[in-house]
Amino acid sequence: QEIFPNIIETSNITYSVNAPNVAGFNQDLELDFYEPSPSDEYLAKRPLVVMIFGGSFLAGSKNAGDIDAMCRRLTKMGYVCAAPEYRLDNVFSMITSQDRVERAMYRCAQDAHAAIRYLLEDPNGMGFNIDPDHIYVGGASAGAIGALHLAYMDNSERLPSMTSIGTIESVGNNYVQPFKPAGVIDLWGAILDINMIDAADDIPAVIIHGDNDDTVPYATAAPYGGTFPTAPVMYGAVPLDARMTSENLCHNFHPYPGQGHTVYGGTTSFPNAYWDPIFFQVRDFLYNKTLKFDSPVPTGKLETCIGSTETYEVPANANSLFCWDVVNGTVISTNNNQVTVQWNAVGTGQITLTEANCLDVIGTAQTIDVNVAAVCCAGLDLDINFDGWPSQTSWDIVDGNGTVVAASGNYSGVAGGSAVNLSSVTCLPDGCYTFNMYDSYGNGMCPKTFNAYSQTVGYVPGGTVTGSFGTIGISNTAGRCGNYKLYDSNGNLILSGGLNFGFSESQNFCLSGGVAMRAGHRDFGIESADDFLKIYPTIANNFINLNVDFEQDELVGVYIYNTNGQQIQKNESLSISRGQGVQLDVSGLRSGNYFVKMISNDRVLTARFMKNN
């Protein structure tokens, strides 16, 4: 919007000294500079638009009505603008040879480049404050031709006719100020070689041209309809659009059917009815294609629990102001690129970030969803490889107060030497716990032995035993020592044990940063993942659905236990068809964590769910 009404124009600033012109004399060049009044707005870095006048490289002025009007309106929107003069040619030179015509076009690009270097250098401390990342170059007719070559022609792409008058940045001043235009405004211009435009340039453009232009070609032709034999073939709006499309360069093409040269009016008719539409197309291009940007996406924990406090952030940027908006949470603190939030209620919370950059341009907001659970806890998975007597094995988990928070049931239905994967055996809040593994016989998880001479029973030392054997009256039952492993829900190994531990062994572990929702699923690597008991929803109100991919129809028993190991519900002799599941009514259960155990002919499968009233 045009929100800065007070424009300051500083005229006739010398930016180029002793530039050799076509007549062989050295020439000084000037520019006019437009800026919003510092009392209204004064940015540390400001976007610059350079507008170059037209006139066939033979005539024209930096004070042209269209150039002045474009600069004033853009300045009211917060840009700073420059209107430079450049070295003009003469009719005699232009009609003498094609090389001289090409050099006239090239001098315009050289001088515009010198003007931008001067503004970036600001040798007299005038306070131009140009942002080198936001420089836009454009013009009308000849000015657009100069702008296109400045943006897309590298020194290595200069035509042979141009090499004799120096590189693009070698004329007018000695300031070393590398820059790359952020966009081009092409008002009925053209380029000498369409191949100068390639994907490596990555410079967006707005192309505006009347399709009945007989001065600068709308398609591919010589200027002035080929009237002058020395005029080179040039590539206008249509090939420019096609080339940028093929190179995947961002651009806007606005043809004006039936219109000729200088669509918005010439020296005597400017501005006509097309002035406002064309200006708005330029304005919208500058904003939408060059200044508009997406705010960064915040990072942080996306699954948490009610009452927890989490920090979210984006990369620090001293030139940006970050605005945070939070739904379903309370902002505890902010530090520009960081926000700390306490989540207030079960459900989905949201964090929306909007970035405003140093140009006061507001980026497109980015929103992330955060799942807030009723209980903040970490899921645990337990793998058990049994010895020959699973019925002797049991386990529990005890918290720091000595309370049993999870426990096994009876493994009497499990075949000896088999393996079970107990996915999500419980979900525990942050803290430290003790895992206890028991063996009622006292030989740990190894096969028992019998000594015929002493009439004593023992157990096999650690290691694998593959069959029965007898040595001096000592024998064992065929089998192997068992073991177990406890994982967190991300698949990280917490502890392991087994073998010949006697009646029991205990191991301590701690959890932190756990959440009710599982962050991932571990590849257990013992049984096929298809054998796991699947339960959904994991946070249930009235019903849960159980599914396991049995190879055939089976009768199973399904039992529900609380975290103290008490059986709360049993469903015996349920028929499950191959590939099908079963639904259980849990509406009568209190809120909390529960285990479902499914016992079939050859396995015991366990899963966890949370009851939420």
Classify residue 552 by burial, with Cβ atoms within 10 Å: 0-12, 13-18, 19+.
Answer: exposed
Q: Compare 461 and 249 and report the one with higher pLDDT.
A: 249
Looking at residue 517, its pLDDT comes to 39
Confidence of residue 443 (pLDDT cuts 50, 70, 90): confident
Mean pLDDT (whole number) for 501-506? 91
Do 333 and 302 meet the contact criterion of CB atoms below 8 Å apart? no
Is residue 195's pLDDT more than 70? Answer: yes
Q: Is the pLDDT of residue 529 over 50?
A: no
Q: What does the pLDDT read at residue 527?
A: 32
- Please state, in angstroms and rounded to a whole number, the distance separating the CA atoms of residues 317 and 321: 8
Sign of CA dihedral 302, 303, 306, 309: negative
Q: What three-state secondary structure class fits 500? A: coil
pLDDT band at residue 465, thresholds of 50, 70 and 90? very low
Least confident of 178-182, 344-348, 372-376, 497-501: 372-376
The one-letter amino acid at 18: N
Where do the DSSP E strands lie in 234-296?
234-235, 251-256
539 burial (CB, 10 Å; 0-12 / 13-18 / 19+) is middle
**Sign, Cα dihedral of 455, 456, 458, 461:** negative
Q: Mean pLDDT, to the nearest integer, of 564-581?
A: 73
Where residue 519 falls among pLDDT bands split at 50, 70, 90?
very low
Tens digits of per-residue pLDDT, 538-565? 777 888 888 776 667 777 888 887 755 5
For residues 480 and 478, give the distance between their C-alpha atoms in angstroms, rounded to a whole number.
7
pLDDT band at residue 449 under the 50/70/90 scheme? low
pLDDT(175) > 60: yes
Mean pLDDT of the chain: 85
pLDDT, residue 180, reads 95
The mean pLDDT of 570-583, rounded to a whole number, is: 76
Q: Cα dihedral angle (145, 148, 153, 155), rounded to 10 degrees? A: 60
Span of 40-54, 90-104, 315-329, 564-578 with lowest mean pLDDT = 564-578
- Alpha carbon distance 446, 416 (integer Å): 11
- pLDDT computed for residue 360 by the predictor: 67
Dist. CA 185–CA 165, nearest whole Å: 26
Question: What pLDDT sits at residue 283?
Answer: 95
Is residue 257's pLDDT more than 60? Answer: yes
* E strand spans, 122-229: 130-140, 183-187, 205-210, 220-221
% the chain with pLDDT above 70? 87
Q: Quick one: how far is CA 444 from the chain centroid? A: 52
**Pick from 57-66, 249-258, 340-349, 486-495: least confident:** 486-495
Query: How would you label 145-176 residue by residue, b for 16+ Cβ within 10 Å and e otherwise?
Result: bbbbbbbbbeeeebbebbeebbebbebbbebe
E strands, 141-256, are 183-187, 205-210, 220-221, 234-235, 251-256
pLDDT for residue 375 is more than 90: no
- Return the minimum-mean-pLDDT range out of 18-32, 263-277, 499-513: 499-513
Over residues 520-527, the mean pLDDT reads 32
Percent of the chain with pLDDT strictly greater than 90: 52
Is the pLDDT confidence value at 468 over 50? no
Q: Which has the minimum average pLDDT: 6-10, 150-154, 586-590?
A: 586-590
Virtual torsion, Cα 451, 452, 457, 461, nearest 10 deg: 20
Residue 556: what residue type? V
Contact 18, 28 (CB under 8 A): yes
Segment 215-245, tens digit of pLDDT: 999 999 999 887 888 889 999 999 999 999 9
